[in-house]
Chain A
Amino acid sequence: MAKYRCTVCGYIYDPQKGDPDNGVKPGTVFEDLPAGWVCPECGVGKDMFEKV
């Protein structure tokens, strides 16, 4: 499961951890994040992320 980096603030999305504070369960791959999901650190959209 690939990690993704926010190109704006550097936050790393780790699918093993998910984003439980925002309702994303551990084990959710990046592609399965809902379209409206935003970077929990800086708030920009999914399209600002790149594969690590």
Chain B
Amino acid sequence: MEIRKNIFWVGAVDWNVRNFHGHTYTTKRGTTYNAYLVVDEKVALIDTVYAPFADEMIEKISEIIPPEKIDYIIANHVETDHSGALPRLLERCPRAKVVGTQKCKEGLYKNYYGNWDFQVVKSGDSIDLGRRSLTFLEAPMIHWPDSMFTYCPQEQLLMPNDAFGQHYATSERFDDETDQCALMEEAKSYYANILWPLGSVILKKIEEVKKMNIPITMIAPSHGIIWRKDPARIVNAYASWAANKTEASAVVVYETMWKATEKMARAITQGLTDSGVRVKLYDIAESDRTDVITQMLEAKGFVFGSSTHDNDMLPALGGFLELFKGLRPKGRVAFAFGSYGWAGGAVKEIEGVLQEAGVETAMPGIGIQYAPTAEDLKRCYEQGKAFAEEIKRR
């Protein structure tokens, strides 16, 4: 698949992968591992694919040129979904030099223990391929310390590895060919679940690239669809998410034992709804964590509830909040609620996580013993309404 004259997509579509990074990310639409082959006087491959797809990639390359002819393999990122095919490929092209950052060199060694010919590059370094060249831009923590972007000035093509990617398996390769809703939903999910805590680094990098004033007419990430119709669309979306732009909406996430906490969750949700705040309600024991975090990305308010069990919150919410805490969301407001039998504990534990995550507890927690009365539910409803006003006010 030629994406520009003599630049080929030689990646793989992983239609059936449903869990990624262990079980931290649900890839309900599968994913792709994108590798790009630049055929010039010299030949460069930008990134590889996950190891189980090595043969598929090598076959695609072989249809274009003998793999032995590859001079450079650019490793933008050490993570195994992009470097996994490297050992196999290097058996076929022992002449090739691997190119990446110092941290990438160290990381690749610690993953594969190969003594490969490695060229360390820094921001601004470039490699001449003949008619074209490749210039590198280090991008630490977008999203690992080793990450870097590769830019081909003659083609105005940016290959930023995981940045601007989506876990989205498709037969089509370009943004103008695919379902727009699915594309943006997966791009948002990717940002929320992987890049959310790195917003400050991302904003700075976007500014840096804008100041460099380099034309970019195509962004080819390492997962999913290539942005060619409107690359600015995804850059602007990233700038907005990274700046923590939110809307007056809320997400209620709870776990319940005997439905008392669920009744409270519904009353709070009704209060928010009646005050004109868009709200999503999730029983986290039944819901997909990746989806919930995606919905939280643009919401201003979060409400977390759990029954008390062994003086603590329930385990599905506990696991979810552990994930949530690592996202360190900025500029959000929240409160906790839940039903308990005797001593209680869940509300306090949730508030502790909020503090650790740097999220402001904007309202007192609501704890209710056993099943809520009509009066208790009225209180939950009223707090939902008050929280809606708080969300609108901020």
Contact = CB atoms under 8 A, between A and B. Distances in A.
Real binding pair: yes
Contacts of A2: none
Contacts of A41: 145
Nearest to A7: B200
Interface string A7-26: 11100000000000000000
23 contacts: A7-B200, A8-B197, A8-B198, A8-B200, A8-B201, A9-B141, A9-B145, A38-B140, A39-B140, A42-B140, A42-B141, A42-B145, A43-B103, A43-B138, A43-B140, A43-B141, A43-B145, A44-B140, A44-B141, A44-B201, A45-B204, A48-B200, A48-B201
A37 to B, nearest CB: 13
Interface residues of A, number: 12
Interface string B199-211: 0110010000000
Most buried by B among A7, A8, A41, A48: A8
B266 to A, nearest CB: 38
A31 to B, nearest CB: 20
Given A39-B140, A45-B204, 19 more contacts: A8-B197, A8-B198, A8-B200, A8-B201, A9-B141, A9-B145, A41-B145, A42-B141, A42-B145, A43-B103, A43-B138, A43-B140, A43-B141, A43-B145, A44-B140, A44-B141, A44-B201, A48-B200, A48-B201
Most buried by B among A7, A42, A45: A42
Contacts of B198: 8
A47 B198 CA distance: 14
Contacts, number: 26
Contacts of A39: 140
Contacts of B200: 7-8, 48
A9 B201 CA distance: 11
Nearest to B328: A7
List the 4 closest A-B pairs by CB distance, nearest first.
Answer: A43-B140, A42-B145, A43-B145, A8-B141
A35 B220 CA distance: 32
A15 to B, nearest CB: 22
Contacts of B140: 38-39, 42-44
Contacts of B138: 43
B329 to A, nearest CB: 14
B324 to A, nearest CB: 17
A41 B145 CA distance: 7
Nearest to B147: A43
B161 to A, nearest CB: 15
Most buried by A among B138, B140, B201, B204: B140
A9 B198 CA distance: 10
Contacts of A45: 204
A8 B141 CA distance: 8
Nearest to B142: A44
Interface in B121-142: 138, 140-141
A43 B107 CA distance: 14
Contacts of B103: 43
A1 B6 CA distance: 56
Contacts of A44: 140-141, 201
A19 to B, nearest CB: 15
A45 B141 CA distance: 11
Most buried by A among B103, B138, B197, B201: B201
A44 B202 CA distance: 11
A38 B204 CA distance: 14
A23 to B, nearest CB: 15
A43 B197 CA distance: 16
Contacts of A7: 200
A45 B142 CA distance: 13
A46 to B, nearest CB: 12
